[in-house]
Amino acid sequence: MHSPTTSGPLPRDIQTVVVGGGILGLCVAGFLAEEGREVAIIDAGRPEGTTTNAGSLHVQMQSRFMRMHPDQVPALESGLHLYPKAVEFWFELQRHLDADFGLKASGGLMVAESREQLDFLAKKAERERSLGLDSKILDRDELDQIAPYLGPAVVGAELCADEGRLDALKANTALRRWVRRVGVMVTGETSVDRVSRDGGRFKLDTSRGTVRAATLVIAAGPGSLTLAEPFGLTLPVESEPLHMNITEPTDLFIGHLVQHA
């Protein structure tokens, strides 16, 4: 599925400009427009064109992050209560737009291949439960009842019932239609090369000319770091490649999110 080219008119002066047309930029722009603001989205590619994080609705703490950044775990825990609320909000937004996002709240598994990994997951699940998540440990027999497709090396898993997934193509198509319906001007294939203050307004130098706005929203993913620097802001955002598996066409048989401890 491909979006039509979106390098249409570039606003020269507007109330609010959102840099970045991904999921965050689309949602911020849509809600601001519903409140009566004049809003434009500017994106270097095609709005919702990357679906970088696809459709996984992660809630439980990621073991890889905990191993790589143990010093940041307390900060992660302090915001963990927002994750199940975010999943709930996806369902609310789907109803609000009268749309079909392909949402499923089927839970997520983090699998272990050793007793050491399972012990780690047990401690993690206990901590997550104390922070309000619906997490529990499954032994291999219990796991076979819900995920018989897992190989013999798996000895157990943590199940977080709060997790789910959506169809990124369906969700982004619905969001794109919504922002246009509420009057957001969407301009793609236009890079924002520099942002600065211009009196009481913001000035954006783009590949297609200059834009001025009273309010600036930076929602450009990894590109947000560079855009925020002129204002003395440090946004620790990094891009990271994800692993993708491609299979032959088959019926759906993996009902959960699945990741490794």
Tell me the DSSP string of 108-163: EEEEESSHHHHHHHHHHHHHHHHTT--EEEEEHHHHHHH-TTS-TT--EEEEETT-
Whole-model pTM? 0.86
The one-letter amino acid code at 210 reads T
pLDDT at residue number 245: 75
What is the rounded average pLDDT of the residues 190-209?
95
CA 191 vs CA 104, 182, 188: distances in Å:
35, 24, 8
- Is the predicted pLDDT of residue 5 greater than 50, yes or no? no
pLDDT at residue number 52: 52
pLDDT tens string 147-199: 999 999 999 999 999 999 999 889 999 999 999 999 999 999 999 999 999 99
- Lowest-confidence region among 24-28, 81-85, 233-237: 233-237
Strands 257-260 and 185-187, bridge-based pairing: unpaired
Contacts of 161 (CB under 8 A, 6+ apart): 105, 107, 134, 135
Structure tokens belonging to residue 153: 């090396």
Topology of domain 13-52+169-231, CATH: FAD/NAD(P)-binding domain (3.50.50)
Provide CATH 3.50.50.60 ranges for the chain.
13-52+169-231
Nearest to 216 by CA among 1, 27, 26, 15: 15
